[in-house]
Amino acid sequence: MGLRYLLLVFFICTKVSYGQERNDFERRYNDVYSEIIASNVGEATRITDSLLAHAQNDEQRIKALMLLANIKHSVGDISVALRHVMKAQVIAELDGFIEWEARTAGFLATTFRNVGLLSESKKNLFKAEVANERQKGSPRYALTRINILQERAFHEMEAGKFPRAVAVLESAKEFIATDTTLSSRAILVKATNDQLLAVCEMEIGNLDEADSLLALSYQALQGQESNLIPYIYRAQAEIALRRGDRIHALELLDLAAPYIKSSDREELKVLLYESYAKAYAGSDDTKSSYYRDLGQKITAQQATLTRKIANELLDNAHNQRRKDQQRNYVLWGAIFFLALVCVVLFLRMLIGRANQKESGMKGIKPLMSTINHSSVSITEESGPHIAEETEKRLLAALEAAEAERFYLDPNMSLSKAAMRLETNQRYVSYMLKTYRKKDFNGYLQSSRINYICKQLKEDSSLLDCKISYVASLCGFASHSKFSIAFKAETGILPSTYIQQLRKKDN
């Protein structure tokens, strides 16, 4: 009795201790995410390193890695930030954490955009959207969808298309209205939406509307210390400058300045230095020139960083190709060895049969005749006749897979499709011929081409991308295969189709 009681106490204490450790992790994580990262980068890094070292499970490891990536990104250490987020992405994909698959891809989209690698940014943004759609209906869907739309707005703003950015951010507000999350991340994401809208309205010329939106953004933070605050001050300073109020603009810039003194936020520094240069222009040209030079120096450093990251990406791609080639050599060697073994065994079997006595062969022949007759009977009975209930289930499964765009998987095959629909390959072929009037390869090709045609019509930013990148978006591994398939389906080459869409846009 005493031993059972002691064991019970032990398990209860263990559970309580684990719960306390989990709560302590979440508390410290939220403290860093919402406040410490904005005021003390060194302390934020120290705490997050500790969180990573003492993480109890993979989800906590992902959170700590993403927090470190955020910290490194905020101080301009992009290469290290990318390494952290890619580690988090690998864990998320292996463990099936869909939310973190979407968030890691979204982070990569933001980071690549910040350093000017727009094609990589768009590729990861698309990946984030696909992952997030897989968790539709989850409480986490809306907040991640808002993040994705904000990143789309950034792309429009980078291109100077502010009215289009406003439209994207307004659609994000629809999700904000339905989201009741009260976490630090949710508060920051919602406040960011108003701040971005304010910048767009300011660039369009609606200064009063921009002023109101910045006030709403600051109010939405609910007193929370945040990296967003200096961006709000800077936008308010820009509005003051456009109204000709240089003194008030400098006061607002001075409120933002402490945030760059306590850290190395390169992007924020460039924005503030540009605004300081404008504020002092005409009244103190020495200071104006000083701040302009500071901004240009950081911009030059960022250009160097962009080249470095681009080279690292190319090196990684080259190393990956080399590893793939080595794996292929091993695989083909193994296949050759197995084939050789099979040939030897087959020859030995033939020799053994040749040495059998004639009476033995006579005994085998009737048996083989019976087996062959049975095989024919089985083949005749297993025609493409599917029970009505099974056929309905397979049709529903096919439609669900189509809704998730399973055909975009570059490695999709008939066997993989059968696994996806939880059936066999013959049934998949039968369903496609009956309901889609195509064999598997024809269905795969037409679905991919129809999908990318729709994307090109709806997203004009894709019209400026390389054909190879467009091909990768719809599951084709090479430019040439994509072009052949595209012409087979539409009658024209993809480059011609894109030119036609560009003319319509103009």
Q: What is the largest CA-CA distance in the chain?
A: 115
Structural domains of the chain, with CATH: 22-135 (1.25.40.10), 390-505 (1.10.10.60)
Reduced to 3 DSSP states, what percent helix, strand and coil does the chain have, rounded to the nearest 5?
A: 85, 0, 15
Structure tokens, 274:
């540009």
Residues 372-419: tens digit of each pLDDT: 444 434 333 444 578 888 888 999 999 999 999 999 999 999 999 999
Residues 138-192: tens digit of each pLDDT: 888 888 899 899 999 999 998 999 999 999 999 998 888 877 777 777 888 889 9
Inter-residue contact 192 to 154 (CB < 8 Å): no
118 pLDDT band, cuts 50/70/90, is confident
Helical residues (DSSP H) of 179-284, grouped into ranges: 184-204, 207-220, 228-242, 246-256, 258-261, 266-280
Helix axes 162-178, 141-158, angle to 10 degrees: 170
Inter-residue contact 60 to 48 (CB < 8 Å): no
3-state SS of 287-310 is HHHHHHHHHHHHHHHHHHHHHHHH
5 pLDDT band, cuts 50/70/90, is very low
Residues 413-472: tens digit of each pLDDT: 999 999 988 899 999 999 999 999 999 999 999 999 999 999 998 888 888 888 888 999
Instruction: Round to whole Å and give the CA distance between 239 and 367.
Output: 93
Instruction: Round to whole Å and give the CA distance between 153 and 200.
Output: 10
3-state SS of 36-49 is HHHHCHHHHHHHHH
Q: What does DSSP assign to residue 96?
A: T
For residue 465, report the phi and psi dihedrals to the nearest 5 degrees.
Answer: -85, 160
Greater confidence (157 vs 354) lies with: 157
314 pLDDT band, cuts 50/70/90, is low
| Residue 33: C-alpha distances to residues 40, 100, 300 (Å) | 11, 16, 30
Inter-residue contact 486 to 493 (CB < 8 Å): yes
Instruction: Round to whole Å and give the CA distance between 418 and 440.
Output: 11
Q: For residue 189, with 0-12 CB atoms within 10 Å meaning exposed, 13-18 middle and 19 or more buried, which class applies?
A: buried
Q: pTM for the full model?
A: 0.52
What is the residue whose two structure tokens read 């025609």?
Answer: 383
